[in-house]
Amino acid sequence: MKILESVMERVIKRDPNEPEFHQAVKEVLESLEPVAEKNPEWVKAGIFDRIVEPERQISFRVSWVDDNGNVQVNRGYRIQFNSAIGPYKGGIRLHPSVNASILKFLGFEQILKNSLTGLPMGGGKGGSDFDPKGKSDGEVMRFCQSFMTELERHIGENTDVPAGDMGTGAREIGYMYGQYRRLRNDFTGVLTGKGLTWGGSLARTEATGYGLCYFMDEALKAKGKSFKGATVVISGSGNVAIYATEKVHQLGGKVVALSDSNGYIYDPEGIKLETVKKIKEVERKRISEYIKYHPNAKYTEGCSDIWTIKCDIALPCATQNDIDENSANMLVKNGCYAVGEGANMPSTPEAIDVFIKNKVIFAPSKAANAGGVATSALEMSQNSMRYSWTFEEVDAKLKDIMVNIYKAASTAAKEYGYEDNLVVGANIAGFLKVADAMYAQGITY
């Protein structure tokens, strides 16, 4: 029996109803088997059993009053997963699908992702099953204030520094920060993704999408390819998708499709990003509106068929388990040679197998989308220094970090006998630093 199989069995036994969490842990443990063989002292110190159990998991009631005067009740969470190498860091997801399994999968991935950036951040994640879609600004504000009224006692600039994620953009971070400041009477860098006039960092908005493209550019270069002239399909039309599109266009590629949870648009002439920004960032409307401005484009209801569009490079930037085995086979059949995960865990394990078997350049989320959290760490540094870097300075640091993550993942893959397998490489490279810190600090948590 493999050393880490029993760890996985205990994870499932302890929380049998957490499929997303199991999926994330299984993938990581499978790639860490050679690390366990090489480091029996880590097995003995329970590092593998400890890293899959959150240090702390908080769940709380969030009550607020809607515009009709009715009381609404949501559930809030914060998963403080691992603080061996720095304060907990990870986003707040506001989406009706949010539950403990999804946040634990995200928090667990965040440990290794944050470690990969080379910056001192532990892993955490939080959120609520609140759906900001269709709510007025007043309703969102009252929810965020209520959410922060509880969260405030668990976070701090040296303890836990939350950020945005799905459903939590600049507006929500603003409302949450305002409430934190009021409760604590303290102006401090306790959240990232803040507005530029109150401690935010230039290039944070662009960071995840841009970082994904910097990572992919490096991975493509290693195989003699580039974005130049490439046709690209991107799922989602939120923060990550929009800025990935912008960078692909800057690097000479052409994005022909984007989606939201209702359907997708296909514009063979290339997506006009200004229109998407207007629809999504300003008007907060559906992506289907795009065809009103560009009648040559086509809108299709439903999401999964987006992966039947012929492309060279696919960048899933919407949500988890967006590409299944069928979609992966379709992409390969149509000549797609590179997949970069902008969203967290957007490919199912079966889809990843298809990509690896077919020698598709496959960039897993914990490496490829680390640009967002890396820039959040740069925001924290600027807050501590009470100083702001220019857009160009932050962007240059982001690019450096993404290139280094690529190097760390590809080198680890090669060292452990899995050349070109960035899934294994990213898991190992991210894990080594955290395991070393946990071992050095003794059996505490």
Subset of 350-369 contacting ligand NDP (CB under 6 A): 369
Residues 6+ apart with CB under 8 A from 415: none
Question: Which conformational region is residue 194 in: left (phi greater than 0), alpha (psi within -120 to 50 degrees), or beta?
Answer: beta
Considering the complex, what minimum distance in angstroms separates the CB of residue 404 from ligand NDP? 17
Residue among 292 and 357 whose Cβ is closer to ligand NDP = 292
Residue among 36 and 405 whose Cβ is closer to ligand NDP = 405
Question: Which conformational region is residue 290 in: left (phi greater than 0), alpha (psi within -120 to 50 degrees), or beta?
Answer: alpha
Distance of CA 350 to the CA centre of its chain: 20
Subset of 332-351 contacting ligand NDP (CB under 6 A): 342-344
125 is catalytic: yes
Q: Is 314 near ligand NDP (CB under 6 A)?
A: no
| Type of residue found at 12 | I
State which of residues 192, 208, 347, 383 lies at the interface with ligand NDP (CB under 6 A): 208
Residues 392 and 368 sit within 8 Å (Cβ to Cβ): no
Catalytic residue among 125, 135, 247, 280: 125
> How many alpha carbons lie under 13 Å from residue 258 in its C-beta half-sphere?
30
Query: Cα–Cα distance between 371 and 397 in angstroms, integer?
Result: 10
Considering the complex, what minimum distance in angstroms separates the CB of residue 45 from ligand NDP? 31
Question: Which conformational region is residue 5 in: left (phi greater than 0), alpha (psi within -120 to 50 degrees), or beta?
Answer: alpha
To 5 degrees, how large is the angle CA 45–CA 443–CA 191? 115
State which of residues 372, 378, 383, 425 lies at the interface with ligand NDP (CB under 6 A): 372
In 3D space, the residue among 395, 2, 378 whose CA is nearest the CA of residue 214 turns out to be 395
Question: Which value, to the nearest 10 degrees, does the dihedral of the CA atoms of residues 135, 136, 137, 143 take?
Answer: -50
Please choose, out of 6-14, 174-182, 224-232, 259-267, the segment that lies near ligand NDP by the rule CB under 6 A. 259-267
Q: Is 236 near ligand NDP (CB under 6 A)?
A: yes
Residue among 84 and 166 whose Cβ is closer to ligand NDP = 166
Query: Cα–Cα distance between 129 and 147 in angstroms, integer?
Result: 11
Residue among 119 and 435 whose Cβ is closer to ligand NDP = 119
Subset of 56-95 contacting ligand NDP (CB under 6 A): none
Residue among 39 and 239 whose Cβ is closer to ligand NDP = 239
Q: Retrieve residue 362's tokens.
A: 């496959």
Q: Is 206 near ligand NDP (CB under 6 A)?
A: no
In terms of Cβ atoms closer than 10 Å to its own Cβ (0-12, 13-18, 19+), residue 327 is: buried
Subset of 138-167 contacting ligand NDP (CB under 6 A): 164-167
Query: Cα–Cα distance between 352 and 232 in angstroms, integer?
Result: 19
Subset of 9-38 contacting ligand NDP (CB under 6 A): none
Q: Is 238 near ligand NDP (CB under 6 A)?
A: yes
- Which residue's beta carbon is nearest to the bound ligand NDP? 238
**DSSP type of residue 156:** B
State which of residues 32, 79, 279, 303 lies at the interface with ligand NDP (CB under 6 A): 303
State which of residues 261, 326, 388, 404 lies at the interface with ligand NDP (CB under 6 A): 261
Q: Is 201 near ligand NDP (CB under 6 A)?
A: no
Q: Is 275 near ligand NDP (CB under 6 A)?
A: no
Active site residue ranges = 125
Which residues bind to ligand NDP, rule: CB under 6 A? 164-167, 208, 236-241, 259-262, 303, 317-319, 342-344, 369, 372
